[in-house]
Chain A
Amino acid sequence: MIGWLTEPFGEAIVARGLLELLLLGLLSGGLGCWLVVSGMSGATESLAHGMLPGLVVATLLGVPLLLGGAVGLLVAAVAIALVTRLPLTPDVATSIVITSLLGLGVLLGLSPSAPAGLGGLLFGDLLGVTDLDLALAAGLGAAVTGLLVVLHPRLLATGFDRFNARALGHSVFAVDVVLVVLLAAATLVAVQALGSLLVAAMLVGPAATARLVSSRVAPMMLLATVVSAGASVVGLLVSYHAGIAAGGAVVLALGGMFLVTLTARELTDGLRRRRIA
């Protein structure tokens, strides 16, 4: 049994994959919670999917994915801003742009001249993370965590009372810009390991699970970090022993943890209600 648990992590590539996930877990612990309580889960998914054409073009041109992703994000942002000027609600405008960009990304990636890397861009390459990926994830994790610690009181005050934030001396615009910039940076770094489709799950999933059972933000962040680490270990173990894709297994483990937590909460609430009745 112990061997079953430890054997996979004796292999360097699996251990590196786990390290990368733990570092990204720091991000989902802090930033992910703000994204969830600020109602930005949709934006997270949109950014991650919208950058796909940029990633594909970067692969085709042989330039760093980081650059392609950044340009892709910029194009998606401009396109959304333009489409929002049409008489459409923002969610419809965003959906149109993001699904189109995702389609364009797939089209480019499946062209005969494309190298066989599209799968990696969509689902990442968790077991192929480089030293640069790890360094980036560590640096970003530290920077984001530090910034979130400093800004915590203001993010809390603004998020709680957005409508009256200005009257209370806070800038909603500044807070939104900070969150979107951090989200863009986190997406760019995490996409290397997790791919365009799975990165949103890693950012939002742990926070959504933690939100189910947390009534304050700071404990929610700690719990989200633990959930993320737990899902990473479980996902990698299952992936190793069952021979399935690592990224997909980790995201499935996240989904499983959400479901288990939700069920446990509903059962406890039900018992409590019955006891009161």
Chain B
Amino acid sequence: MSAQPILVADDVAASYPGARVPAVASLTFEVRAGDQVAVLGPNGGGKSTLFRLLTGELNVGGGRLDLPARRCAFVPQTERSRLDFPVSALDVALMGAVSRMAWWRRPGRADRKLARASLKRVGLGDRMDASFGNLSGGQRQRVLVARALVQDAPIVLLDEPFRGLDAASTELLEVVLRELAAEGRGVLTATHDLEQARGADLVLCLNRVQVAFGPPQTTLRREVIERTYGGNLVELGPDVTGVLTDGHPGGAS
């Protein structure tokens, strides 16, 4: 899949305000239209920092990041969503349109149509008017994906989107992400799941610095995974390795 690069990082570093050492450094990678990129790394390894950099929440602390403003849609983890906020699934999906508008504009008929279509696409066509807080965790996660679809950005960032999803929802979401890439978008997915990463076009391994970047065949090797996750590897069998995240095996290799 060779196309125009839509995101180029050249030795990029990022620090949080007041911190002495960068949260993540030596980021050198390129994402092209249509790439599905798995971002792998331990908690605190820099996955979220990378996303904050790409959404413009954090400033580039060094190096060069080539990414036109407001080009990223972001799907956060649903754990931090407010369940008591009086909104429907459709309201939340429609918020994606607000992200790409000037502050005085309001979503129009075309945006509503897109919001409904996006909810259908993530399998929530029959739950559009449900209160967001009354949905299950997996359904809420899919509403946040629909919001990103409505945002209609060339780059889509997803922070552990498969966490807590059942098998059917996982499969559905995988299809949606593949379609997004096929439409020519760059799709970056933070994950702990080596199996998931194996299905991506490219894998970016982070452990406060960039450990590796490239296709799964070259990056998902034992020594790379060891450097990415430090000592948190567990042997699950003769050829099977899992990653310990928060005490749970995050995937097998």
Chains A and B come from one and the same complex? yes
A170 to B151, CA, bound (A): 13
Pair B86/A166 contact, Cβ less than 8 Å: no
The CA-CA distance from A154 to B95 in the complex, in Å, is 8
Among A95-103, A209-217, A255-263, the one that faces the other chain is: A209-217
Task: Determine whether the beta carbon of B131 is less than 8 Å from that of A215.
Answer: yes
Q: Could you mark each residue 94-132 of chain B with 1 if its beta carbon is under 8 Å from any beta carbon of chain A, else 0?
A: 110011110110110000000000000000000000011
Q: Assess whether A161 is in contact with B81, with CB atoms less than 8 Å apart.
A: yes
Is A150's beta carbon under 8 Å from chain B?
Answer: yes
Interface size on B, residues (CB 8 A): 31
- The listed residue (A167, A170, A216) touching B87 by CB distance below 8 A is A216
Q: Which residue of A lies closest to B96 (CB)?
A: A168
Q: In the assembled complex, how far is the CB of residue B55 from the closest CB belonging to chain A, in whole angstroms?
A: 4
Question: What is the bound-complex CA distance between A220 and B106, given in angstroms?
Answer: 20
Are A216 and B86 in contact, CB atoms less than 8 angstroms apart?
Answer: yes
Query: Cβ of A152: which chain B residues have Cβ within 8 Å of it?
Result: 106
Contact B87 A156 (CB under 8 A): yes
- Give the residues from 139 to 161 in chain A that come closer than 8 angstroms, CB to CB, to chain B: 150-154, 156-157, 159-161
A160 to B52, CA, bound (A): 19
B88 in contact (CB, < 8 A)? yes
| CB neighbors of A among B125-142 (8 A) | 131-132
Query: In the complex, A215→B133 CA distance in Å?
Result: 9
Q: Does chain B have a CB within 8 A of A185?
A: no
CB of A112 within 8 Å of the partner chain:
no
Complex Cα distance A150/B131, Å?
24
Residue of A whose beta carbon sits closest to that of B69: A169
Tell whether, in the assembled complex, residue A163 and residue B86 are in contact, meaning their CB atoms are under 8 Å apart. Answer: no
Q: Are A153 and B107 in touch, CB under 8 angstroms?
A: yes
Q: A156-B91, A161-B76, A215-B131 are in contact. Are A151 and B85 (CB under 8 A)?
A: no
| Complex-state Cα separation, A151 to B103, whole angstroms | 7
- Given contacts A156-B87, A156-B91, A215-B88, A164 and B99 within 8 Å (CB-CB): no
With both chains docked as a complex, state the minimum distance between the C-beta of A261 and any C-beta of chain B, in angstroms: 15
A216, B90: Cα distance in complex, Å: 11
Instruction: State how many angstroms separate the Cβ of B153 from the closest Cβ of chain A.
Output: 10
Contact B52 A167 (CB under 8 A): yes
Specify which chain A residues have a CB less than 8 angstroms from the CB of B107 in the assembled complex.
153
In this complex, how many residues of chain A approach chain B with their Cβ under 8 Å: the count is 25
Does A58 sit within 8 A of B, measured CB to CB?
no
Measured between C-beta atoms, what is the minimum distance from B195 to chain A in Å?
27
Could you tell me the distance between the alpha carbons of A215 and B98 in the complex, rounded to whole angstroms? 21
Closest to B73 in A: A168
B80 touches A164 (CB 8 A): yes
Specify which chain B residues have a CB less than 8 angstroms from the CB of A154 in the assembled complex.
98, 103
**Is A37 interfacial (CB 8 A cutoff)?**
yes
A159 to B221, CA, bound (A): 43
- Cβ–Cβ < 8 Å partners of B92 in chain A: 160
For the complex formed, measure the closest distance between the CB of B22 and the CB atoms of chain A, giving whole angstroms. 19
Please report which residues of chain A, range 24-65, place their CB below 8 angstroms from some CB of chain B when the two chains form the complex: 37
The answer to whether B86 and A168 touch across the interface, beta carbons within 8 angstroms, is no
Q: Are A37 and B56 in contact (CB under 8 A)?
A: no
The answer to whether A163 touches B85, judged by C-beta atoms less than 8 angstroms apart, is: no
Q: Is the CB of B86 within 8 A of A169?
A: no
Closest A residue to B85 using CB positions? A160
Q: Which residues does A use to contact B, with CB under 8 Å? A: 37, 150-154, 156-157, 159-164, 166-170, 211, 214-217, 220
Provide 28 A-B residue pairs closer than 8 Å at the C-beta atoms, listed in order of the A residue.
Answer: A37-B85, A37-B86, A151-B103, A152-B106, A153-B94, A153-B98, A153-B101, A153-B107, A154-B98, A154-B103, A156-B91, A156-B95, A159-B82, A159-B85, A160-B85, A160-B87, A160-B132, A161-B95, A164-B74, A166-B56, A168-B95, A168-B99, A170-B99, A211-B86, A215-B88, A216-B88, A216-B91, A217-B91
What are the 9 tightest A-B residue pairs by CB atom distance, in nearest-first order? A167-B55, A157-B95, A169-B99, A167-B74, A153-B98, A166-B57, A164-B76, A215-B131, A157-B98
